[in-house]
Structure 1
Amino acid sequence: MKIFKSYGIVVLLLFTAACKEAGKKAGEEKKPNIIFIMTDDHTTQALSAYDRRYISTPNLDRIADEGMRFKNCFVTNSICGPSRAVILTGKYSHINGLTDNSKVFDSTRVIYPQLLKKAGYQTAMIGKWHLGSTPIGFDYYSILPNQGQYYQPNFIENGKRITEKGYVTDVVTDKAIGFLEGRDKDKPFLMIYQQKAPHRNWMPAIRHLGMFDDTTFPEPSNLLDDFSHRGRASREQLMRISVDMMEAWDLKLASSQELDALNEAPPAPEFKDTKEGDFEQANDKSTDKARFLEVYNRMTDEEKAAWNKVYDKRVAEYKKLNLKGDDLTRWKYQQYMKDYLACVAAVDENVGRLLDYLEDTGELDNTIIVYTSDQGFFLGEHGYFDKRFMYEESLRTPLLIRYPPKVDAGSVSDALVMNLDFAPTLLDYAGVEVPEDMQGESMKPILDNAGKVPDNWRKATYYHYYEYPSWHMVKRHYGIRTARYKLIHFYNDIDEWELYDLQKDPQEMNNRYHDPEYREVAEQLKEQLKKLQVKYKDTDPAEKQAKQI
């Protein structure tokens, strides 16, 4: 009898040990947490993992150093709302319905956070949403209405409108960490953490005011581009630093005395906190000071005093120098860079706060961390600010992914990837079936193999921009980008083609479309372009869009 009792005890011990081992394996194979970090208008030129000319971003670089950096990540439509809709749905703008910023995203469409929520993830959306509709598919959301404000920002938090004290980049991070602290520890989580910065009008945090005042930034070699070897569309736009930047809104050339006087005057019509696509105020310089006064008045008296100390000096310098022509353009470029990069500095600091929190709580290596922007941005290249064009600085967006269990530290990939691919990739890693109607591809084979490009990976990307006439008046266009070439067709009120050899002309200064030497290349690219339009169901795009005028 004792033998049987002893045998039973042994069996019980073995069973308990087996259960513990199974539990360990289950723990090892648990679904990864996901943090999707996206900024607004943060270009690769202003991220030192890509480019060290302008600013050091050590916390963002950490993601690259401990993960993978994609050299060739491109957007499908370089504008805020449409880019966000592409990322959420894994579908092109003409399929997901949000072709430009004037439209509202249809919240009945399936987005990847909903699929992760159904698969057991706790989901949160924090920061800039900019889709017009209410977020669906999230256990918690706290979003900036429309473009959001830099100081004392408003939020819509689970349906309730609130105002928070402080600087928006800090506040969004506080909310993100707050969600992580209070989350359900028994569930994996998806947190979409999206900053307003460094979107126009580039208002730095008080601690960063004047941080670059002693810096002279190198100028792009084509800052004074005269567009003589490019197309009509490149000339007919309203995004030149030289003449299209607004003095108060963009360059902060409104003194404290002027602003005080405006505050004492009869109230001007309120400048609405609009979506970027609300066209009645597009490119209207008559609203410049009134618009800036609204954001200035969101500051506390102490914040205003610190702000005035820095920017009154800028106004005085501007008046004293009395610059004209190219010299004025160069001066404006320096002021633009100081403000834009100071906003980036706050982003980098706050990403560092988030990484430190994850490390302190033991969740850093269990979490897929994605860093990207909704598109690129011009920092003076071709004399431009803003985005929209299919030219490289606007088309390319940063993409850094950290996940130690699968992604080699310090790896780099040349693969042609798109923001269309983000949703399929995250679903793939979470073990959730990717819907057949998603048009992107999972990047998991690239991430799992040190950045190597599979033989069957795409050889070209497709782009389509729709928002014209509107802000900055960039004409509608679509095109194809391969590893070496780019072909663009501008249409609607124009019919022009541009072809660039990126190997010989990386700055896209010389349109080769009419060059006999490139005739065969142009024809081959047109054939590839047609195939991509069939693949992505965007055939006859010019004809379809013409009907919408």
Structure 2
Amino acid sequence: MSRVKQTSSISFGSSGVCLLLLPALLLFFTQAPVCIAQPNVILIICDDLNDSVEGMGGHSQAYTPNIKRLAEKGVRFTNAHCNAPICGPSRASLWSGLLPSTSGYYGYAQQQNKWREFDKLSNAITLMEHFKANGYNVWGSGKIFHNGHSDNSVFTISPDADPDNPGASDFGPFPWDGTSFQGTSNRRDGQSHPRMPSELSGYWSSFGSLEDVPTIGSYTGWSLKDANFTYNSAADRDLMPDEVTAQWVAKKLNQTHAKPFLLTVGMNRPHVPFYAPDEFFEQFRDAQGNNTVELPPYFADDLDDVPEILKAYSGGIADYRTAGEGNDQWWKNLLQAYLACVAFVDHQVGKILDAVEDSNYADNTIIIFTSDHGYHLGEKDHKSKTTAWEETTRVPLVVYAPGVTVRNQSCASPVSLVDLYPTLNALCELPEDPNGGAGKNNIALDGHDLTPLLKQPILGHWDGPQVSLSHLNSREVIAPHTESPWALNHHSARSVDYHYVLCSDGSEELYDHVNDPNEWINQALNSAYADTKSAMKLQLFNALGFKNSISLVTNGDFESNLDGWNTFGPVTLENNTANTLAGTGSAFVSNRTAEWNGLKQNMLSRLEKGKTYHFSAWVKLANTGPDNIRLSIKQVLGSDNPAYITIDSVSATNGRFSLLEGDYTMPDSDEIAEIELLLNGPAIGVNFYADYVRVYEYQTPNIVASVLIDDGDGMISLGWNAELGVSYRLEQSLN
């Protein structure tokens, strides 16, 4: 284990382009600057870091002079967002360049759902693989992927094969009792710190200074996940994993490399448990050692106007408010520990910046600093991540690209982590279509090149959408490694001034960030904001690949009547108010005498031939289940017999509403005589409810040919940018 080594801080030098030295000058230097045409890249990603960074508008006491120092050299994006507010899908989206709405990996039960096991991600070419395939050395250290989800094949050298590399994530040091392990593994089972009050007892909820060495039973000392951690004093201790990672980066930068490199650097902090060296707590104490941290802006009734389905995602801060002597003492202690961990991470960033400036790569190295998602510290009564709100979707993002970025500028355009992949492709002059070609999945990257905003942060025009997307996973159970449909999850769209959230049950949020930066007032039901909400909803649907945000189904909410709906067979169809997904009404189907009996709606006049549509509906049994319910289309062409096309079926129960969803393409025919949406299928006598029925038209792709590839199998692949957040591929025979 590496030990503490004191180093002095130096200032970051001026930037410039790498100049080719005249041959004669080589006589005067024993080591010439390494001049490689393509730039190097260092991408630093933190874990659970919110906007508590100087210059990002977060906690006013955040101490991050080194991140600020980097921002003063480049562009800081003050409206950057993750694409999923939880580690696994966020990192999968960042490294693959694919949104959760494209891959289907939203983060439900993320520990059991590994990203590479999802179909569209299984063979997606990651950022690292793309750089490696195009002549780069690619290295990584620390938490790059989610815990247990690593794919070290993407690196030139696996972190496990490098003796100086600390390897994957380790949230230690943490308290240990000397005997407990996780299951049958050799991984040590972290314990609660004995100084924590009983209300906050637990491994994840504990925090504190490394100076407060724990004693649990007969064991005294700190531990890493699979090794001891020695702490004798601040000057005589082992290095924390993030410190080892920074040291490893400095060593790499002190070496001569024949090829350009991509260094991915994963910082574990400020992920829980919040332990850090005492010097970083000192920043937030007065002369008497008292905690000086201020609480974040807080509104006691903040959740009153939040949709019910989102309230379940909030929690955790109440125990900190009442623990110990109460009076928010332990809430303040929590904040102090978080900010100390942020300051600790900033110090590691400083070491990396120093190493860059001291190296031969200073003038030709792009540096990016960001986080996988944000983190609540009491806002909306929440302490953690995994919400649709600003505190967890927003991330710090700083980009410095020598010769490209202007100095010390801010950009308020809504961008997201998925934009980094195409941006680095552009800056490093790599092919923009990594998944295109024979034997590949031919899925286009979802992000957009930020280069225009790096050059002109305020007035720059880029081809990205007017909103950034973030997707929150549903809590509905789905089978392992199954693509989760977009209609099952919750979606967030952030513009310059507004934040719109659409939940799976149709409930909404709208926040006006000009007048309400803390998101205390949900304006979704305020008629004065109706036009703004409609515009934001349309932006969200456009970004998801839909033509419009208005469902083509008449009265799909059944709020007060059954207008637009008819019985399919001799059944009773009633408006119900007792069993609803959301809102005040649903449709109740009873007295069924055949499995095909149900409810229907004529869609012929609303669907266009040759167009593709997304259908969805929520259903629930009134009887003891389970039993199958179908969403289908009755299609009649000319004088042909009816064709019944199943869009989806689900094994429904009487305990909760279940989602039916899928796509249907209208025949490209002039003889379409009948098109009806049907909900039916359970056994005779089984009654059921239906609610929130929706049909949306997909956008018609704006096809721009990008690459023509001979697949070698008698086919030509024509890849294109369809501007949909999904991708398409056209094949035509060479014969």
Does TM, normalized by the shorter one, top 0.5? yes
Aligned pair partner of 2:115 in 105, 118, 129: 105
Question: 1:146 offset after TM fit, Å?
Answer: 7.4
Question: 1:487 offset after TM fit, Å?
Answer: 2.1
1:195 aligns with 2:195: no
Q: Which residue of 1 aligns with 2:180?
A: none
Question: 1:510 offset after TM fit, Å?
Answer: 1.6
Give runs of aligned pairs for residues 190-269 of structure 1, distance below 5 A.
190-208=262-280, 212-213=284-285, 214-222=290-298, 224-243=300-319
Rounded Cα–Cα distance in structure 1 between residues aligned with 2:140 and 2:459: 32
Rounded Cα–Cα distance in structure 2 between residues aligned with 1:208 and 1:366: 32
User: Structure 2 vs 1, CA of residues 404 and 150 (structure 1 numbering), >3 Å: closer, same or farther?
Assistant: same
Q: Which residue of 1 aligns with 2:509?
A: 498
**Aligned AA (1:229):** D
Is the 1:152–1:167 contact (alpha carbons within 8 Å) kept by the matching residues of 2?
Answer: no
1:130 aligns with 2:137: no
Is the 2:253–2:361 contact (alpha carbons within 8 Å) kept by the matching residues of 1?
Answer: no
**Aligned AA (2:348):** N
1:150 aligns with 2:164: no
Give the secondary-structure state (helix, strand or coil) at the position aligned to 2:448: coil
Question: 1:421 offset after TM fit, Å?
Answer: 0.3
Is the 2:450–2:462 contact (alpha carbons within 8 Å) kept by the matching residues of 1?
Answer: no
**Percentage of identical aligned residues:** 24
1:117 aligns with 2:128: no
Question: 1:366 offset after TM fit, Å?
Answer: 1.3
Unmatched segments (≥5 aa) in structure 2: 1-19, 27-32, 117-121, 161-165, 176-185, 188-224, 230-237, 437-443, 478-487, 548-611, 619-647, 649-657, 662-735
Question: 1:73 offset after TM fit, Å?
Answer: 0.8
Q: Which residue of 2 aligns with 1:3?
A: none
Question: 1:81 offset after TM fit, Å?
Answer: 1.2
1:60-96 residue CA offsets vs partner (Å, 9 max, x unmatched): 1111011111111112211111111111111112433
Aligned pair partner of 2:412 in 404, 411, 414: 414
Give the secondary-structure state (helix, strand or coil) at the position aligned to 2:410: strand
Rounded Cα–Cα distance in structure 1 between residues aligned with 2:617 and 2:407: 44
User: Structure 2 vs 1, CA of residues 28 and 127 (structure 1 numbering), >3 Å: closer, same or farther?
Assistant: closer
Rounded Cα–Cα distance in structure 2 between residues aligned with 1:209 and 1:220: 18
Aligned pair partner of 1:92 in 93, 99, 124: 99
Question: 1:30 offset after TM fit, Å?
Answer: 0.8
Is the 2:40–2:260 contact (alpha carbons within 8 Å) kept by the matching residues of 1?
Answer: yes
Give the secondary-structure state (helix, strand or coil) at the position aligned to 2:275: coil
Rounded Cα–Cα distance in structure 1 between residues aligned with 2:279 and 2:72: 27
**Aligned AA (1:58):** P
Unmatched segments (≥5 aa) in structure 1: 1-16, 156-160, 248-317
Aligned residue pairs, count: 439
Give the secondary-structure state (helix, strand or coil) at the position aligned to 1:464: strand
Is the 1:479–1:489 contact (alpha carbons within 8 Å) kept by the matching residues of 2?
Answer: yes
State the TM-score, normalizing by the size of structure 2.
Answer: 0.54
Rounded Cα–Cα distance in structure 2 between residues aligned with 1:499 and 1:222: 19
More strand by share: 2
Question: 1:228 offset after TM fit, Å?
Answer: 2.1
1:460 aligns with 2:467: yes
Question: 1:456 offset after TM fit, Å?
Answer: 4.4
User: Structure 2 vs 1, CA of residues 31 and 162 (structure 1 numbering), >3 Å: closer, same or farther?
Assistant: farther
Give the secondary-structure state (helix, strand or coil) at the position aligned to 2:318: coil
Q: Which residue of 2 aligns with 1:66?
A: 73
User: Structure 2 vs 1, CA of residues 37 and 28 (structure 1 numbering), >3 Å: closer, same or farther?
Assistant: same
Give runs of aligned pairs for residues 320-331 of structure 1, distance below 5 A.
321=325, 323=326, 327=327, 330-331=328-329
Is the 2:81–2:393 contact (alpha carbons within 8 Å) kept by the matching residues of 1?
Answer: yes
Rounded Cα–Cα distance in structure 2 between residues aligned with 1:96 and 1:375: 18
Larger Rg: 2
Is the 2:422–2:449 contact (alpha carbons within 8 Å) kept by the matching residues of 1?
Answer: yes
More helix by share: 1
**Aligned AA (2:134):** A
Rounded Cα–Cα distance in structure 1 between residues aligned with 2:100 and 2:52: 26
Question: 1:476 offset after TM fit, Å?
Answer: 4.2
**Aligned AA (1:150):** G
Q: Which residue of 2 aligns with 1:342?
A: 340
Question: 1:442 offset after TM fit, Å?
Answer: 0.9
Q: Which residue of 2 aligns with 1:523?
A: 534
1:347-398 residue CA offsets vs partner (Å, 9 max, x unmatched): 1111111111111123222110000000111232223221222211111111
Q: Which residue of 2 aligns with 1:267?
A: none
Rounded Cα–Cα distance in structure 1 between residues aligned with 2:405 and 2:91: 25
Q: Which residue of 2 aligns with 1:512?
A: 523
RMSD: 3.5
State the TM-score, normalizing by the size of structure 1.
Answer: 0.72
Question: 1:401 offset after TM fit, Å?
Answer: 1.0
User: Structure 2 vs 1, CA of residues 176 and 510 (structure 1 numbering), >3 Å: closer, same or farther?
Assistant: same
Question: 1:333 offset after TM fit, Å?
Answer: 1.7
Q: Which residue of 2 aligns with 1:305?
A: none
Give the secondary-structure state (helix, strand or coil) at the position aligned to 1:42: coil
Rounded Cα–Cα distance in structure 2 between residues aligned with 1:211 and 1:450: 33
